[in-house]
Amino acid sequence: MIRVEGLRVRAGNFLLGEIDLEVKSGEIHVLLGPTGSGKSTLLEAVIGLRTPEAGRILLEGHDLTRVPVEKRGLGYLPQDLALFPHLSVRENILYGLKIRKRPCDGFVSELCRILDISHFLERRVTSLSGGERQRVALARALAPGFRHLLLDEPFSALHQGLRRELWDLLSELRHRYGLTVLLVTHDLKEAFFLGDTVSVIFEGRLEASGPPERLYRKPPSLRMARFFGLRNLFPGRITGEGRVEVPSLGTVLRVTSTPSFRSKIYVGIHPEDVLVVRDKYLRPDQENLLSARLVNLRSEGPQVRVVFKGEGGGLLEVILPDLARSKLDLSPGRRLRLSLPPERIFLLEGKE
């Protein structure tokens, strides 16, 4: 387990903190946030590249705050990989063992086999592709036998197909060797694919931590919902218990809860949760029905993103399987019925 308690770190004019964070043993914990939010600063403090102004860093209960980098027992993979260009693949992988005066054992050979790099151990790293360099860097970080791995956006320079391949590989390594991983990214797909726990950082402050599905489904703040790319956010007004008026959609919606907010509220729903309902399939108990006009449609491979305009002029995004394009006759200008399931609607306080 890695625990961060009340950590405050200054990097030039930027201040991170105070941060409290717990990375459970055996999990992949993702630090997510926009560029410049402080994710890498936090990771660098944990590995020992930055000295905190306050707070503690604990590894399995042992205080590492003033321990030198080389004695922390943490594997580290920076964004630029930091491979030595004048060394071969084998020499890069064994570098950590050499400086720690440890022998090369069967674990390193097994690691190279799993990472599929055994056949080019004698090549220079300058001759490798991007994906090959990533695998070599992973091998070097794990070769000393570390079971705690810190990764700083290691896959950001790779194309989507290769990134997905390396995500699978990292997951396999985590399960095979019982790794505890702290990973920095600004990529939502990467965070939600890999993370058992996701911690979101904005402007040097920890906004929220939790399972990725929970944070995505019910973002705790308007700022986080927008960072997740959600456009279906509409000003609303609570008109009674379980009722919210949404002028831009020209309707009053039933919701499952109406919390007390001091400022104005926003009503949110994810585009994949909005239902397009054909008249012949309307149920008597169908809730939160509204009529909207289709104004835009964009194909995204296996799915289609459709934009509807509500009675009050608000734009509502809907994601449907591509098959729905012909089934529903999705053509611009057509008016269709939409249903917003109450259990999928969430309310947010109207402040950033």
Q: What average pLDDT score do residues 277-296 get?
A: 89
pLDDT in tens, 112-132: 999 999 999 999 999 999 999
Q: Beta strands 251-254 and 243-246: pairing type? A: antiparallel
pLDDT band at 105 (very low <50, low <70, confident <90, very high): confident
* Whole-angstrom distance, CA of residue 7 vs CA of residue 45: 9
- Domains defined along the chain, listed by start: 2-218 (3.40.50.300), 223-349 (2.40.50.100)
> At 57, is the pLDDT very low, low, confident or very high (cuts 50, 70, 90)?
very high
Quote the pLDDT of residue 223.
94
pLDDT tens digits along 215-224: 999 999 999 9
Q: Tell whether the model's pLDDT for residue 268 goes beyond 90.
A: yes
The amino acid present at 271, given as its one-letter code, is P
**Which band of pLDDT confidence, cut at 50, 70 and 90, is reported for residue 352?**
low
Dist CA 41 CA 15 (whole Å): 9
| pTM for the predicted model, two decimal places | 0.92
CB atoms within 10 A of CB 181: 25
Q: How confident is the model at residue 26 (pLDDT cuts 50, 70, 90)?
A: very high
Alpha carbon distance 268, 317 (integer Å): 11
Give yes or no for residue 225 having a pLDDT over 80.
yes
Q: Contact, 337 vs 286, CB < 8 A?
A: no
At 306, the pLDDT band (50, 70, 90 cuts) reads very high
Q: 308-330: per-residue pLDDT in tens?
A: 999 999 999 999 998 888 788 88
3-state secondary structure 135-194: HHHHHHHHCCCCCEEEEECCCCCCCHHHHHHHHHHHHHHHHHHCCEEEEEECCHHHHHHH
The angle subtended at Cα 315 by Cα 313 and Cα 316, nearest 5°, is 135
Does residue 99 carry a pLDDT above 80? Answer: no
100: pLDDT strictly greater than 80: no
pLDDT of residue 255: 95
How high is the pLDDT of residue 187?
92
